[in-house]
Amino acid sequence: TTLSAPPLGLLLEDIVRRHRPRQNAGNVPTNIPFLATVPFDRFGIAVATTSGEVYSSGDAGVPFSIQSISKVFTLAMALQGGRSAGLWSRVLREPSGTSFNSLVQLEAEKGIPRNPFINAGALVVTDHLLEETPDAATQLLRFLTEQAGDAGPAPFIDEAAAAGELDSSSRNLALAHFLKDFANLTRPAAVVVENYVRQCSIMMTCVQLARAGLFLANNGQGTAGTVLSPSEAKRIGSIMLTCGMYDAAGEFAYRVGLPGKSGVGGGILVIVPGQCAICVWSPRLDAKGNSLAGTAALADLSDRTGWSVF
């Protein structure tokens, strides 16, 4: 279904009316102090279409912490221009069925993470990028800034938020040391975790993230030129569908029917292949670490538009 302009704008306004939280329900991550300070009633949504339009409503112009949505983009950077050599022997492409920061499978599977979108796998991807640059987070920021265009305040790394998270990164450090023990990390654990935490602390708006994610819905063609081949873009979409919501990937596919990637900042990036990229943001989370209101809003939006890969 392709919606014409006025109905989509109105529909997004209605989505905001219905789904903006009225009371403070849901969780905030305990390991990132900054996120607990974000008001519970923030809610934004933006749709960037393959025909070049952007529609948005609510707090779609307010920067938020992209957190694990960064994992989609570091993977894209790792696959760009044939840079993926060696990566797929270091990380699998299977749903984990465990929480995003779980250690258990890493031991069972001898240091090979189940997929690039859980923390262990994302640390491997960041390590892979660090083979080419000493500052993968800044390189990611540059990539995102370029793809986001000049809409709104420039994306930036919230270094104070990153420092706050680094102070309570025992678990991510444990994952990194585990990877190192299995010889699946080339850089020191502390260096990889610091880069990873800084990439997670990038601040962007829904409009910017929808624009930056458009290449995934558009055969690899981004707002600022070719990012990936159509085949590579398809594959990232597939991993988003099977692994993008951690141990809620099945439930999200059932409710929304679209590839998505969440972050504990409350953002979710969703792809409608051939049509658009959608970013929704609402900071309070469900038990699996995915935006409560954001997931509900996307389920509503896909039902009402017919947007789905099924």
Rounded to a whole number of angstroms, the minimum distance from the CB of residue 250 to ligand GLN is 17
- Token pair 């599977």 is found at 109
Count of C-beta atoms within a 10 Å radius of residue 38: 18
CB 152 within 8 A of CB 210: no
Rounded to a whole number of angstroms, the minimum distance from the CB of residue 67 to ligand GLN is 3
Coil, strand or helix at 119: helix
Contacting residue, 34, 55, 64, 100, with ligand GLN by CB under 6 A: 100
99: Cβ contacts below 8 Å, ≥ 6 apart: 246, 247, 288, 289
Is 264 annotated for ligand binding?
Answer: yes
Count of C-beta atoms within a 10 Å radius of residue 241: 21
Catalytic residue among 201, 207, 246, 262: 246
Provide the b/e sequence for 195-219 (b: ≥16 CB within 10 Å). bbbbbbbbbbbbbbbbbbbbbbbbb
CA atoms of 245 and 296, how far apart (whole Å): 14
Indicate whether 68 belongs to the interface with ligand GLN (CB under 6 A): yes
Binding mask 254-273 for ligand GLN (x = CB under 6 A): ---------xx---------
Phi, psi angle pair for 268, to nearest 5°: -135, 130
Contacting residue, 96, 172, 242, 295, with ligand GLN by CB under 6 A: 172
Q: Catalytic: 51?
A: no
Catalytic residue among 57, 62, 71, 193: 71
Binding mask 105-134 for ligand GLN (x = CB under 6 A): --------------x---------------
188: Cβ contacts below 8 Å, ≥ 6 apart: 180
Angle, CA of 125, 99 and 40, to the nearest 5°: 100
**Total residues at interface with ligand GLN (CB under 6 A):** 13
Q: What is the largest CA-CA distance in the chain?
A: 56
Rounded to a whole number of angstroms, the minimum distance from the CB of residue 65 to ligand GLN is 8
Q: Catalytic: 264?
A: yes
Q: H helices of 244-291, where? A: 249-255
Is 104 annotated for ligand binding?
Answer: no
Contacting residue, 49, 56, 101, 242, with ligand GLN by CB under 6 A: 101
Q: Catalytic: 68?
A: yes
Is 68 annotated for ligand binding?
Answer: yes
Q: Catalytic: 102?
A: no
Nearer to ligand GLN, 158 or 232 (CB): 158
By annotation, the residues acting in catalysis are: 68, 71, 196, 246, 264
Residues that bind ligand GLN (CB under 6 A): 31, 67-68, 100-101, 119, 165, 172, 197, 200, 263-264, 289
